[in-house]
Amino acid sequence: MKLPIDFYLRRNVTVIAKQLLGKILVTKVNGMITSGLIVETEAYSDKEKGSHAFRGMTKRNEVMFSDGGVAYVYLCYGVHEMFNVVTNEKGKADAILVRALEPQKGIDTMMERMKTDSQKRITSGPGKLTKALGIDRSFNGWELDSNEIWIEDGIEVKPKDIVSSKRIGIDYAGEDALLPWRFTLKNNPWVSR
């Protein structure tokens, strides 16, 4: 079952970030289905310095300000496409970065895209999972109940299975870099780093 768009609206971004753990991200690119269980997320809001939206709307981040339930995809370090889930209502720029997946369907396709013979850690990192699932900036702004990219129900996750920690790679955000807004599934071997 695809998650309804309502799932992404009018709720706290850290709550949704935790609830995304155990859900399944699916893409259909060139007719190929690839999917993975979400095992690591990070929450961002326009109220804190870690977010692209902290200094207001720009051409790059404008989809963060739209109604929730769409993708925000941008290029990082000139090399990596990063996939985010936009949440909350129009004007409130909350987003959730998906940082790692446990591969499910289409593993051969993912290995081919990653140019590797091993299925080990092919989706363990925000830049890697987008490449493995065929996500690039052309997905920016797409609704997450489309037939090309969506998120569906996966496994049940209990509060005790969730670990909170500080977010990765945002030291520039000062004290906001310390917010415990990174969420991982406990003891899951597919989380990044």
Q: Contact positions toward DNA, by CB under 7 A?
A: 42, 44, 50-53, 55-56, 58-61, 64, 72, 74-80, 82, 84, 95, 97, 125-129, 167-170, 172, 192
Minimum distance from residue 54 beta carbon to DNA (Å):
9
Question: Which is closer to DNA, CB of 18 or CB of 167?
Answer: 167
DSSP the chain: -BPPGGGGSSS-HHHHHHHHTT-EEEEEETTEEEEEEEEEEEEE-TTSTTSTTTT---TTTGGGGS-SSBEEEEEETTTEEEEEEEESSTT--EEEEEEEEEE-S-HHHHHHHTT-S--TTTTSSHHHHHHHHT--GGGTT-BTBSSSEEEE------GGGEEEEPPSS-GGGGGGGGS--EEEETT-TTS--
Minimum distance from residue 19 beta carbon to DNA (Å):
17
Question: Which is closer to DNA, CB of 44 or CB of 150?
Answer: 44
Minimum distance from residue 40 beta carbon to DNA (Å):
10
Minimum distance from residue 68 beta carbon to DNA (Å):
14
Question: Which is closer to DNA, CB of 15 or CB of 156?
Answer: 15
Question: Which is closer to DNA, CB of 73 or CB of 185?
Answer: 73
